[in-house]
Structure 1
């Protein structure tokens, strides 16, 4: 009988567990972890960053071409944005509810030391809207400004469709480029276990129990809501719209979710998320459009983080947020998820916007800044899982609309 080999997801999980164990053992030697182990993780991330822009550009153009109708692109875009906005509202509301119920900030007292945090000014909605449209077609590709890359891809995809027969040659080139990018991506993904291990070890080594224990309640509440939102929201939506069983969805999505958790980068997990979505049964033209868009505007995990941290900071400063203020937190979190898309350190910028909207001191951010990486790992995993859920739902909704699927999906029959 032939021995069954371990799959890539199993190797990734094993490397994650080993990374945590080694990180704990190296808590007194964090400098060694940073000097000799972290570089391998950095190399892996660099390879991911290298392929992300080509994958996004070629796959979105290819996805638009495969729809063969500009009207279909517009309809899929509207459904995607509605999905993301609705789940973000639910996510931040869930965060607020459990932060209040569990009194996330109770028992904490501020010391006499002054807490300082220099807030980074977030771009206005007007500036964000203008910055989405690039003045140079090559600069966004070099700087990896994903919103601008998406806009470039959408314009070129639409241009190929409008050019008709004359655009076919360019379209064939893009399809070929997409396949090449996917093959390069497969090679890089095979290095995931090494990358995950090398990235986790220094994080655990630097953030040992001494740092985590004082803020353990905040971490536990955030992660409780992260998991609850993924199980309650995404599995329900994929079960209802795409007829994908809950366990099947999470089993297929797990490699991308683990990758997002390990790297704290939705962009870094994007290639694997595309691969997982295809295995889930999502159409390539839909997932190639939805997932890259989701990496820039889908912020469910960040919204949960904002809601929990807002209550945490309010409670440790002895302030109570009334219902109107908490509704303001929801509205600000949803709007800022688009307003700060593509901005480095957007989680902190969004949190500062939320705190300002309800009159809470920005100094409170200094309390969570030290464990932000730990919280960021979880919220990035939520965001990436949400992208795959959206791709599955939109894909199957489009298939049913076009009469390509019976009332129950292929997955339900398996």
Structure 2
């Protein structure tokens, strides 16, 4: 009876989110970073709240992914089963990412956010990195040293090594069962640590949102309002329309019931701008959606690194934005190539804030477009990245539901109980 009166976590996060926006707005109105008292004393404390939460998540995310992916590979039981789930997952990720990039491009062509915007003397402060070719991208999936990848948090090599380790233990048969049991227990231990970290999420969300609003204020929406609207509209279409169609057609479930549970990780991703922060909560939500442990432990950690639909949306829009700023027309062929490049680039994106901003520089450089567009967007990237990350994170749960449905691993009775939630 006592537990029923507790405020649900997602309600606490909502409250913290709006309290953060309100607090940040007041601080911005009082001078923001130009006020010595606010800049030197209040903002550092609020930033500490956010940084503490993010660091706690980062502490557990690498061992969580390593043990949960390995455990997921083991729980599938045989190589054929793993190949079936893995192939469906990769195809699903690539297909939805390509579709998201296409939607971003179509809206950028219609709304034309770069038309009528004056850059002035905006400069480029982001370091340009060389875009790796297809062969190098594939080679980079294999770790030179697994322990180095674990210590540096290089997710894709960690996931590949975890899968290979799972394969090897399965092949060992009876001899591998004691090791499999240890890995299963370690994965469970990681979830227990996550349970402790989850309790501080509202405080972290409050700190992060307060700092963002105090620094940027409402003025950030002026110069590139059309860009922000285009980005948010594309993210909304992917989240509300595309995901609902996928859940209905492939998952064969009610999208409204899905969002009753999935809204919680969406809020966390939106607030923190990192899929890694939402991953632990998504993995807790997955069983409540009827997704089997075998599927969720495989799809969700992989999706946090390789399924970047929202980031793909941004890739398409920023390239069109840059070309429109300088009156450069991109042909249909160039835009199709952009979709392909954006899709494969998104697979290697780290689940960290600002990564889309850096990766977009490589696209603009390769296509010979001016980099000033990125400098213009950089000031408000934190705001649009919230939509990207939320779209990325919710897309992982959508994928997990659809893959579980295709594999016959979705408990529809559990899912349909959500109507009473």
Q: Smaller-chain TM-score range?
A: over 0.9
Q: Aligned-pair RMSD on alpha carbons?
A: 2.2
Question: Which of 117, 121, 133 is matched with 2:142 structurally?
Answer: 133
Structure 2 CA distance for aligned equivalents of residues 410 and 242 of structure 1: 14
Q: Which residue of 2 aligns with 1:323?
A: 332
Residue 275 of structure 1: aligned partner: 284
TM-score norm. by structure 2 comes to 0.91
Deviation of the 1:178 alpha carbon: 1.5
CA displacement at 1:123 relative to structure 2: 3.1
- The whole-number CA distance in structure 1 between the counterparts of 2:97 and 2:241 is 13
Retained in 2: the 8 A contact 1:328–1:357?
A: no
Which of 400, 408, 413 is the equivalent residue of 1:399?
A: 408
Q: Partner residue of 2:45?
A: 36
Q: Distance in 2 between matches of 1:253 and 1:102?
A: 30
CA distance in 1, matches of 2:351, 2:164: 19
Does 1:230 pair with 2:248? no
Q: CA deviation at 1:301?
A: 0.4
* Structure 1 residue runs without a partner (length 5+): none
What's the counterpart of residue 7 of structure 1? 8
User: When the two structures are aligned, how many residues end up with a matched partner?
Assistant: 409
CA contact (8 A) 1:116 1:363 kept: no
d(CA) in 2 for partners of 1:115, 1:90: 30
Q: CA shift at 1:409, angstroms?
A: 6.4
Q: Secondary structure at the match of 2:132?
A: coil
Residue pairs, 1:12-411, within 5 angstroms: 12-27=13-28, 28-30=31-33, 31=39, 32-112=41-121, 117-340=126-349, 345-399=354-408, 411=415
Shift of 1:157: 1.2
Distance of 1:168 and 1:235 partners within structure 2: 40
Comparing 321-330 and 18-27, the one that deviates more: 321-330
Contact 1:123 1:339 in 2 (8 A): no
Q: Which runs of 5+ in 2 are unaligned?
A: 34-38
Q: Is the 8 A contact 2:286 2:397 kept in 1?
A: yes
Task: Show the counterpart of 2:36.
Answer: none
Distance between the aligned counterparts of 1:310 and 1:169, measured in 2?
52
Q: CA deviation at 1:373?
A: 1.4
SS across alignment from 2:257: helix
SS in 2 for 1:132: coil
CA distance 1:143–1:115, shift in 2 (3 Å): closer
User: 2:273·2:389 contact (CA, 8 Å) conserved in 1?
Assistant: yes
CA distance in 2: counterparts of 1:125 and 1:151, whole angstroms: 17
CA–CA distance in 2 between the matches of 1:387 and 1:96? Answer: 22
Q: Tell me how far 1:322 sits from its aligned partner.
A: 2.7
Structure 2: how far apart are the matches of 1:167 and 1:141?
A: 23
Change (3 A) 1:340 1:51: closer
Distance 1:275 1:342 in 2: 19
Which deviates the most, 254-263 or 105-114?
105-114
Contact (CA 8 Å) 2:305, 2:348: kept in 1 or not?
no
Deviation at 1:363, TM superposition (A): 2.7
For the structure 1 residues 226 and 343, does the alpha-carbon distance in structure 2 shift closer, same or farther, using more than 3 Å as the test?
closer
- Secondary structure (helix, strand or coil) at the match of 1:133 reads coil
Mark the CA change 1:122 to 1:198 in structure 2 (over 3 Å): closer, same or farther. same
Q: Take 2:70 and 2:393, find their aligned partners in 1: how far apart are those partners?
A: 21
Once the two structures are TM-superposed, the CA of residue 214 in structure 1 deviates from its matched residue by 1.1
Q: Distance in 2 between matches of 1:342 and 1:399?
A: 29
Q: Provide the rounded CA distance (Å) in 2 between the counterparts of 1:189 and 1:113.
A: 40
CA distance 1:392–1:33, shift in 2 (3 Å): farther
In structure 1, what is the Cα distance between the partners aligned to 2:54 and 2:350?
20
Question: Is contact 2:316–2:339 with CA below 8 Å preserved after alignment?
Answer: yes
| 220-229 vs 126-135, which moves further | 126-135
Q: 1:268 to 1:343 in 2, by over 3 A?
A: closer
Tell whether the 8 Å contact from 1:290 to 1:387 is kept in structure 2 after alignment.
Answer: yes
Question: Which whole-Å CA distance do the structure 2 matches of 1:250 and 1:258 have between them?
Answer: 11
